[in-house]
C-alpha cells in the first residue's frame, strides 16, 4: 500500500502544478482585461450599440469633440455607490438610470463605470489626472459623480468604533474634504465642459442610529450645501438629492451592510437621475 502511495505522488504534484499555472494565467488574463477596460472602454452591450471608443495615442489636454447624434453617452466615476456595491442585481444607479431613460425613448450607452470601492476625495482628485479616465469623461455627454461618504463616515466604519462620533468629530474633516469636492467638480468640468454633470448628493445611512442621527444629519446637510454652492455657479451641473429618499426609509433602501443602498435604494436614486437629465435635456421632438 505504501509503494502505491509513493507511485501516485508525482501525478499529484503534476496536477497541482498544472492547476497553479492555469490559475496564474487566468489571473494575468483578468488583470490585462481590466487594464484594457479602462484604456480602451467599450459600451455596455445591454445599453446602446456597444460602440467602441478608441483612446488617443497621447493626451493633448484638450477635450475630444463628442459626436452629436442624439445618443446619451453615460460615464460614472467615484466611490462604491458609483460602482453599485450592495445591489444584488449588480446594476447600480447608472445602469438602472440608463434603463429608465431607454424605456422613455432615449438612445443610451454606458461607456464605463469607473467607481472604486472605498475611494475618497483625495484619491479621486489624483484619478482625474489619469489619461484613461480623462478620455472616458471626454467621450461622455452625461457624467455621474459619487464621492464623499467615505470621507465623512469612513466607509461605514464609524459604527465599529468604541465611542460614537460626535457632531464635532464628524464635522472635523468637512472643511478640507468639501474644498476637495469643489476642486473635483471644477476639474470634471474642465475635462469636459460640454457634458451634463450630475453629482449624487449624500444621505445619512445612520439616521436610525440614535447616537449618529443628529450629527450625521448635520454633517451631510453641510456637505450637500457646499456642493450646491459650486453647482449653482456652473452650467450643466446639478445635484441629485438623496437625503430625503433615505431619511425615513433606511430599513427599506439600505443593504445588509447598513451603508450602501440595496437594489430598491439604487432604483430610487436612478429615478431621480433620469428626472434630472430630462429637466436639463429635453428629448428631441418632445417640445419641452
Summarize pLDDT for 49-79 with one digit per residue, the tens: 344 444 554 544 555 555 567 899 999 999 9
CB atoms within 10 A of CB 224: 20
Contacts of 222 (CB under 8 A, 6+ apart): 171, 174, 178
Angle, in degrees to the nearest 10, between helices 2-39 and 131-139: 50
**Spatial separation of the C-alpha atoms in residues 74 and 195, rounded to whole Å:** 10
Percent of the chain that is helix, strand, coil (3-state, to 5): 55, 10, 35
Summarize pLDDT for 240-270 with one digit per residue, the tens: 999 999 999 999 999 999 899 999 999 999 9
Question: Among 54-58, 118-122, 168-172, which stretch is predicted with the lowest mean pLDDT?
Answer: 54-58
Question: For residues 22 and 78, which has the higher predicted lDDT (pLDDT)?
Answer: 78
**Taking the model in full, what pTM does it have?**
0.75
Angle at 274 between CA 130 and CA 258, to 5 degrees: 75
**Residue with C-alpha cell 447624434?**
69
Selection from 159, 136, 239 nearest residue 205 by Cα = 159
Angle at 282 between CA 266 and CA 137, to 5 degrees: 60
**Residue with C-alpha cell 489636454?**
61
Question: For residues 142 and 258, which has the higher predicted lDDT (pLDDT)?
Answer: 142
Contact 243, 199 (CB under 8 A): no
Amino acid at each position: 500500500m505504501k509503494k502505491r502511495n509513493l507511485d501516485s505522488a508525482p501525478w499529484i504534484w503534476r496536477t497541482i502544478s498544472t492547476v497553479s499555472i492555469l490559475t496564474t494565467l487566468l489571473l494575468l488574463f483578468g488583470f490585462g482585461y481590466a487594464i484594457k477596460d479602462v484604456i480602451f472602454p467599450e459600451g455596455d452591450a445591454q445599453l446602446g450599440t456597444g460602440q467602441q471608443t478608441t483612446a488617443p495615442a497621447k493626451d493633448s489636454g484638450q477635450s475630444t469633440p463628442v459626436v452629436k447624434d442624439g445618443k446619451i453617452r453615460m460615464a460614472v466615476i467615484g466611490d462604491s455607490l458609483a460602482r453599485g456595491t450592495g445591489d444584488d442585481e449588480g446594476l447600480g444607479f447608472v445602469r438602472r438610470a440608463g434603463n429608465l431613460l431607454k424605456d422613455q425613448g432615449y438612445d443610451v450607452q454606458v461607456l464605463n463605470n469607473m467607481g472604486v470601492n472605498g475611494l475618497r476625495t483625495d484619491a479621486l482628485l489624483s484619478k482625474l489626472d489619469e489619461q484613461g479616465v480623462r478620455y472616458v469623461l471626454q467621450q461622455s455627454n452625461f457624467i455621474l459623480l459619487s464621492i464623499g461618504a467615505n470621507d465623512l463616515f469612513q466607509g461605514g466604519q464609524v459604527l465599529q468604533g468604541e465611542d460614537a462620533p460626535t457632531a464635532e468629530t464628524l464635522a472635523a474633516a468637512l472643511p478640507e474634504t468639501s474644498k476637495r469636492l469643489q476642486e473635483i467638480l471644477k476639474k470634471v468640468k474642465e475635462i469636459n465642459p460640454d457634458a451634463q454633470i450630475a453629482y449624487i448628493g449624500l444621505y445619512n445611512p445612520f439616521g436610525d442610529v440614535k447616537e449618529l442621527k443628529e450629527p450625521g444629519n448635520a454633517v451631510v446637510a453641510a456637505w450637500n450645501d457646499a456642493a450646491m454652492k459650486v453647482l449653482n455657479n456652473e452650467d450643466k451641473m446639478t445635484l441629485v438629492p438623496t437625503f430625503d429618499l433615505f431619511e425615513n426609509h433606511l430599513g427599506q433602501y439600505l443593504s445588509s451592510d447598513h451603508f450602501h443602498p440595496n437594489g430598491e435604494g439604487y432604483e430610487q436614486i436612478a429615478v431621480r437621475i433620469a428626472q434630472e437629465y430630462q429637466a436639463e435635456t429635453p428629448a428631441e421632438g418632445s417640445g419641452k
